[in-house]
Structures are given as structure tokens and as C-alpha cells.
Amino acid sequence: MFRKVLIANRGEIAMRVILACKELGVQTVVVYSEADRLSLPVRMADEAVCIGPAPNSESYLNIPAIISAAEVTNVDAIHPGYGFLAENANFAEICIACGIMFIGPPPKMIKLMGDKALAREVMQQRGLSVLPGTDRINGSKHFERLAEQIGYPVIIKAVAGGGGKGMRVVRDPGELSRSVELAQVEAGKAFVNPAVYVEKYLEHPRHIEFQVIVDRDGNAVHLGERECSIQRRHQKLLEEAPSVAVTAEQRAALGEKVALAVRDLGYESVGTLEFLMDPQGHFYFMEMNTRIQVEHPVTEAVTGIDLVKEQILVAAGESLSFRQQDIEWRGHCIECRINAECPDTFVPSPGTITAFIPPGGPGIRVDTAAFASLKISQYYDSMIAKLIAYGPDRTVAIQRMRRALDTMVVEGVKTTIPLHQKILRHSDFTEGRLSTSFLERINA
């Protein structure tokens, strides 16, 4: 087992990894930017190393500074969390070259899944359905014919995409070439790589994703699905497990397929395969995320498995302590992302938190690094807490989440709490009528 792990991240996920390491008896080092000097992870980790000024490029994306911190503190492994360097194959390669274990999949898997057009292709070869679509597009001529064959509406997506950026829906063929050009410019700015591809656009789908974990011996287990249909600007806001739309038969059948596919590819570590589900119940593979995800706690709650601990254990070469037949899904879990932003416009609301009282009581878990007096910096993601409500069934989970939202106090910044209160009381939500256009519909 590792003796000491460096956490190359901040905020709630840095705290989450610290907690897992404490349970495993592993020492922790966090790296931090000047803006995070007074943060909770800095206070809670065994050691902390400042790696630069607030801007990401000078701190949390500063590979030489992070590797130097790892060498100085003599760690065995680096946990990248999510975002920042978590899906940077180059960073994973550098860690390995320096004799430091990267807590994640092999770099070639990160590279493969980081190319969404290629990921579609390899997963299709392994029996997963994908929406009709194109390969990557260079230039702008021949894809007009391809889009015609796919049938409008279509969506243009960045090959290197993430975070809902660089996507454009096109309903009118006359707008295609202009939209492709704009998408390429956006993708170039956001991801360096300007390549895009075109896919059939599904109206009102559900976003359903499957969690997998694979050890070095090739034991691959799926932990069922999460539904993440409640989104704003193609970004998740509320997630739950299980999905009311997925039957036990569908879970078993698709779960088996995804576990086989990742084992066949030689994948290791935790990972998530994202699908869109159409109203007829067909699943289409969209992409695979090669990291621990923000919404992992809902799966932890219904399976009883600590995903971060397991992720660290398999990175250390341990075999999974469970088999597929050991996995049982019990109860229901919902997660609300509490962001420091305006609940109507989603514009970030940086500032100082003047009061912070997290809710408690039966079935409530709060993953956060926030506290009163903390300054929410404009430099980083606006998520300040994850509110997680578990119950024996969906009705109780909803009741507990409503109670938790109503008793949570965050002052000094605007938050998404009022929006979640509205969602949790909407009949479409309570009756499980969800789709990725849910928020537009209820706000219309």
C-alpha cells in the first residue's frame, strides 16, 4: 500500500481524497495556490506545499511545480481528483516516468477516451450503440452531405470536449457550415484541439451513466447507473441513483456490456461510461470519463462501496475485494450541486461566505471544503458543496433532500439552493419525468 499520497487538486474533492487516505492510514500532501492558503484541505492534510499564484496555469495546472512538490515530500502516488490534470495523459506519463504512481488509468486509456470520436468508434466495435455520427471533421465541405445523411437536428461536438463546452445544436442545414466554424474556434480556445465531429441530436433524452471499476488483474465490475438528466447548459446540476427509467434487466444487460468492454480495452481504475437514453429506452454511448466523478457519492450510497478508497487500492495493485455478484443496490440517493452562482442566470457569484451551516440528520451527507469566512475565488469552479440525501426509497430521499435544502444556511454569496428547492417540489421531478431539457421546461 502507498505510504504517502499527494493530492493535485483543491476544494471538496481534495477533502474527499484526504478522508479516504485517513481511513486507509495513508499520509497526505496537498498542493495549493496562494488563493487557497487558508483552505480546509491545507489545514487537514499532513503536509501542504504552495505551488504558485491563483491562476490555474500557474498552480493547479503547473506540472513542474506539482512534480517538484511530489519529489520534495517523497510521495508514492498522486491523486488528481477531477478537472485540472485528471484527464491529462501527459501528466500521467510524467508521474510514471518520475517513479510516482498516477492514481487513475494507464495514460494510453486517458488518451484514447480523451478523443471522443475515437472513443465512439472503439466502444461501437465492442457492442455499444452510438448515435449516427461522423468521424472528426477537418475542413468544412464533405460533412454537409454527412449531416444530411444523419438527419437534422444534429449536434457539433469537440473531439477533446468536456464541461459542456464547444457544443452546438444545428436545426437548419443553412447554418451548418457557420456553426462548424464557430465550434472549431471555441474548441480550439477551450481545449487547444479544434477538431469537432457531428452527431445526431436527440430531443429530450435522459443522461444515464454507468460506473465501472477495474483492477490490475482485469477484474471489471459495474456499479450500476446514475441519472444526470437535470442539467444547465449541458452541465450536471442534480444526479441520482438508481434511475427511475432503468429496469433491473436493463441495468444487468448494459452493465455487463460496459464491464466487458472496459476489460477488453485493458482499462484500469474507476471510470464512467456516459449514455443518452431515448424515450423508447435505447441507450447510446456518448463518452467515457477516466476519473472519479463529482457525482460518485450517489453510487457509494446505493452500493455501500467507497469508490475513492477502492480507486486508491487498485492503483496500489490490490485486487478488488468484491465480484459482480456481490454488488447489490439498496435504496435511493440524490445529489444536489450547491454552486456559488445566481440560481436564475447561473452567473458565478464570487465573494466571502459570511455564514455556513451545513444540514445534517438521517440520510444526509455533505461533501464540501466551505466554511464561514472562506473567500470564493473567481479563479475556480463555482461548486461549493454537494448535498447528498439517501433514503430507503426515492420518496424518502426526496423528503430528506427538501428538508436538507430548507435547513442549509449559506450567506454572503448567491447559491443554487433556491433552484434545487424548486426542482425537488416540481411534480415532473417527483414523478420521475426527467430529460436533459427539464430545466428549460420548468423555467419556461
Binding status of residue 120 toward ligand ADP by CB under 6 A: no
Question: Cα 130 to the chain's mean position, in Å?
Answer: 20
Binding status of residue 191 toward ligand ADP by CB under 6 A: no
Binding status of residue 114 toward ligand ADP by CB under 6 A: no
Binding status of residue 136 toward ligand ADP by CB under 6 A: no
Question: Does the active-site annotation cover 403?
Answer: no
Look at residues 344, 230, 346 and name the one whose alpha carbon lies nearest to residue 295: 230
Binding status of residue 53 toward ligand ADP by CB under 6 A: no
CB of 56 to ligand ADP, least distance (A): 18
Binding string, residues 199-238; x marks residues near ligand ADP by CB under 6 A? xxxx--x-x-----------------------x--x----
- Residue from 135, 175, 274, 306 in contact with ligand ADP (CB under 6 A): 274
Coil/strand/helix, residue 287? strand
Dihedral, 114, 118, 119, 125 alpha carbons, nearest 10: -160
- Residue from 161, 224, 359, 412 in contact with ligand ADP (CB under 6 A): 161
Tell me the CA distances in angstroms from 398 to 182, 339, 359, one per residue in order: 41, 19, 15
Binding status of residue 295 toward ligand ADP by CB under 6 A: no
* Residue 156, C-alpha cell as written in the block: 457539433
Coil/strand/helix, residue 358? coil
Cβ proximity of 301 and 387 under 8 Å: no
Closer of 354 and 443 to ligand ADP (Cβ): 443
Binding status of residue 435 toward ligand ADP by CB under 6 A: no
* Residue 80, C-alpha cell as written in the block: 488528481
- Candidate list 16, 226, 232, 291, residue with the active-site label: 291
Binding string, residues 10-49; x marks residues near ligand ADP by CB under 6 A? ----------------------------------------
List, as one string, the DSSP characters of 73-135: HT-SEEE--SSTTTT-HHHHHHHHHTT-EESSS-HHHHHHHHSHHHHHHHHHHTT----SB-S
- Residue from 26, 94, 155, 245 in contact with ligand ADP (CB under 6 A): 155
Closer of 128 and 286 to ligand ADP (Cβ): 286
Q: Is the preceding omega at residue 153 within 30 degrees of 0, hence cis? A: yes
List, as one string, the DSSP characters of 5-40: EEE---HHHHHHHHHHHHHHT-EEEEEEEGGGTT-H
The catalytic residues are 291
Footprint of ligand ADP (CB under 6 A): 131, 155, 161-165, 167, 199-202, 205, 207, 231, 234, 274, 276, 286-287, 436
